[in-house]
Amino acid sequence: MDFVRTPDSRFSNLKDYPFDSHYVELNGLRMHYVDEGPESASPILMLHGEPSWSYLYRHMIPICATAGNRVIVPDLMGFGKSDKPTRVKDYSYQLHMDWMTAFVEALNLQNITLVCQDWGSLIGLRLAAENEARFSRIVVGNGMLPTGNQLLPSVFKMWKMFALYSPWFPIDRIVNAGCFRKLNGEERRAYRAPFPSSRYKAGARAFPRLVPTSPDD
């Protein structure tokens, strides 16, 4: 599987993101994660959505860690500082599940509080259901676990086609469009940081097509 790795220089001097980087090797790919707070404490696992990365939780991480929790925030494959397979077809819902299951097992996380939103919930809720003994609490914001039986709005179908076929895929503008408070220039730079060129965006382009639209998906 061909993949790219975003240069560290892209993440230099990001405001409100002072966290040390940690990595784990999963089936030949490197996944990045933030790990703050006491290592012996019960972990809070925060999963980001589309098309963001661990930067999304930058304000929550220090609050939860200061309260005495271990806070673990991975970048999903294809996002943030994690490796990025370069073809849309290299991504599947099952592969994301396999990567995240391997991540939880590699860190041997127990008594997890899951915090998830958007695509983080599609992965995280199933992860918790399939590894029930590892999880104790779940917090979901703007999340779901679709079965394929729901009627999807036409705007989602347009988003799916845009993600797959538009030559223009401005990550920061996409994030900004979904925010109640519009992003400032520094925040927009941070959301652009993982994606120096279109070659790095396959994971972000793939996610909309992976949402189940029928029970057979």
Q: What is the tens place of the pLDDT at every residue in 106-132?
A: 999 999 999 999 999 999 999 999 999
Q: In the prediction, which pLDDT does 146 show? A: 86
Mean pLDDT of the chain: 96
The answer to whether the CB of 35 falls within 8 A of the CB of 29 is: no
| Alpha-carbon gap, residue 107 to 80, rounded angstroms | 19
The conformational region for residue 118 under phi > 0 = left, psi -120 to 50 = alpha, else beta, is: left
Q: How would residue 153 be classed by pLDDT, with cut points 50, 70 and 90?
A: confident
Tokens representing 131?
Answer: 């590894």
Tokens representing 138?
Answer: 């779940």
Residue located via tokens 């972990």: 43
SS3 213: coil
Q: How would residue 147 be classed by pLDDT, with cut points 50, 70 and 90?
A: confident
Distance of CA 183 to the CA centre of its chain: 19
Model confidence, pTM: 0.95
Report the top-level CATH class of 3-210: alpha beta
Give per-residue burial for 101-129: e unless 16+ CB within 10 Å, then b: bbbbeebebeebbbbbbbbbbbbbbbbbe
Q: In the prediction, which pLDDT does 214 show? A: 79
Give per-residue burial for 26-62: e unless 16+ CB within 10 Å, then b: beebebbbbbbbeeeebbbbbbbbbbbbbbbbbeebb
Residue-wise pLDDT for 5-61, tens only, equals 999 999 999 999 999 999 999 999 999 999 999 999 999 999 999 999 999 999 999
